[in-house]
Structure 1
Amino acid sequence: MKHVPSRLLALFYLLSVGSSVLAAYSTELNVTGLITPSACSPTLSANGIVDHGRVPARNLNQYEYSTLPAQALDLTVSCNEPVLFVLVGMDNRADSSLGPGFYYGLGTNIHAPTERLGTVSLAFREVMGDGERVLVLASSNQGLTWFPESNAYPNNYMGFAHPGTLVPEPHRLLTATLQVNTAINAAAYLTLKQEVPLDGSIVLDLRYL
């Protein structure tokens, strides 16, 4: 006979007691999940890390954003069959964004938490779907309407289709260059007497349609 953990035995005991006890002491358990007809796996090169290294404070613009060199990551979405999916940029630093709806946040100054460090923007470049060039589409209303747009603004649905098509199409293999642009806030608005880490954090969420 297999060993039954004591906690499970306790649960069995609770289920066997009288109905009057259950009426007085009860709780609810919900089991959730999602059965999908197929599976896709998104991956980013360099483990999804964009490292700008050390940025000397003296090189920053005093009253304008300082744009750092653009960096690029290779994005691949591989599915076991053609699947209709979108990618959605989710900002883990949304409270620090200097342009909500257009830019992702770069985090706040650890030495002065009210100071927002800057912005991050994402754009899809050279996108290929199943070996053919595809058009990048965006939706700001969760897929009700679509328009051509290669910039991946926060919370927008990003879909992919053949040129001339304004509705996302299924793909088995999608490859793209994800361009990452970072800008630091004007130095006049930052306390830079100590080292300040940049702290952008973005999730590319793959969702099935």
Structure 2
Amino acid sequence: MLALLYLLNTTSLVLASSSAVLNVTGLITPSACEVRLSDNGIVDHGMVPARSLNQYEFSALPMRPLDLSVSCNEPVLFVLVGVDNRANSSLGPGFYYGLGNNVHAPSERLGTVSLAIRNATADGQPALVLASSNQGQTWFPESNAYPDNFMGFAKPGTLIPEAHRLLNATLIINTSINAAAFLTLNQEVPLDGSIVLDLRYM
């Protein structure tokens, strides 16, 4: 009798216990690459007077270049993908990155950012910039880095990305502010573009 009661009591304790799941994830890669942008990847347009903005057209701010480099410990086939952290504010999804929303009027979209990769060299030789809008199934020459496009690099005349150890290029950033007529500008409004250049191994 005592033994049976003890077992029944133990069973009730087991049934009442709780648990938690721990998942350990990661990715083992055969090679490692590092992406770098000059100026810590910051483009600061400073103070833009509201009175200088076009009333019914976009106002283009000065073009800003940044040095872009990708260095790998051995030749690696990779692509760069622009990921828009402000996609909900984009005025041209698929072509332009968003500049964020007006913090004082959240429904107002502030403008656009466009990226282009120029003057690319790969392992010391001129490189052709390629793009793919279907995750690498087909490629075409294109230096504009549209959101979510794969950007690869190859020798001129080659339409398939190649493995490289060192890529150097100039990243061109063009920023435009929305027409002033569509913005509430009676207070200071911070520009808030945020883009990730994501390196992906192929």
In structure 1, the partner of 2:4 is none
Q: CA deviation at 1:23?
A: 9.6
SS of residue in 2 equivalent to 1:42:
strand
Report the Cα offset of residue 104 of structure 1: 0.2
AA aligned to 2:50 is: A
Q: CA deviation at 1:22?
A: 7.4
**Percentage of identical aligned residues:** 77
Change beyond 3 A, Cα 1:23–1:29: farther
Give the TM-score normalised by the residue count of structure 2.
0.92
Question: Could you tell me which residue of structure 2 aligns to residue 199 of structure 1?
Answer: 192
Alignment partner, residue 70 of structure 1: 63
Q: Aligned letter for 1:148?
A: P
Query: Which whole-Å deviations, capped at 9, do the CAs of 1:119-140 have from their partners, x for residues lacking one?
Result: 0000000000000000000111
**2:128 and 2:70 mapped to 1: Cα distance?**
15
Q: Which residue of 2 aligns with 1:136?
A: 129
1:33 to 23, 26, 29: 26
Aligned mate of 1:170, from 148, 158, 163: 163
The alignment's C-alpha RMSD in Å is 1.7
Superposed, 1:185-196 pairs within 5 Å as 185-196=178-189
Measured after TM superposition, the shift of residue 56 of structure 1 is: 0.7
Amino acid at match of 1:110: V
2:164 matches 1:148: no
| Counterpart check, 1:80 vs 2:43 | no
User: Which residue identity does 1:100 align to in structure 2?
Assistant: P
In structure 1, the gaps of 5 or more residues are: 1-16
With structure 1 as the length reference, what TM-score do the two structures score?
Answer: 0.89
- Superposed CA deviations along residues 149-193 of structure 1, whole A, max 9, x for unmatched, are 100000000000001111100000000000000000000000000
Q: CA deviation at 1:32?
A: 1.3
Q: After the TM superposition, which of the residue ranges 20-29 and 177-186 deviates more from structure 2?
A: 20-29
Q: Aligned pairs, how many?
A: 193
Tell me the equivalent position of 1:44: 37
Match of 1:7 in 2: none
- Report what 1:12 is aligned to: none
1:182 aligns with 2:175: yes
In structure 2, how many angstroms separate the alpha carbons of the residues matched to 1:135 and 1:29? 45
Q: Which has the larger radius of gyration?
A: 2
Shift of 1:30: 2.1
Partner of 1:56: 49
Q: 2: CA distance between counterparts of 1:21 and 1:134?
A: 65
Matched, 1:125 2:122: no
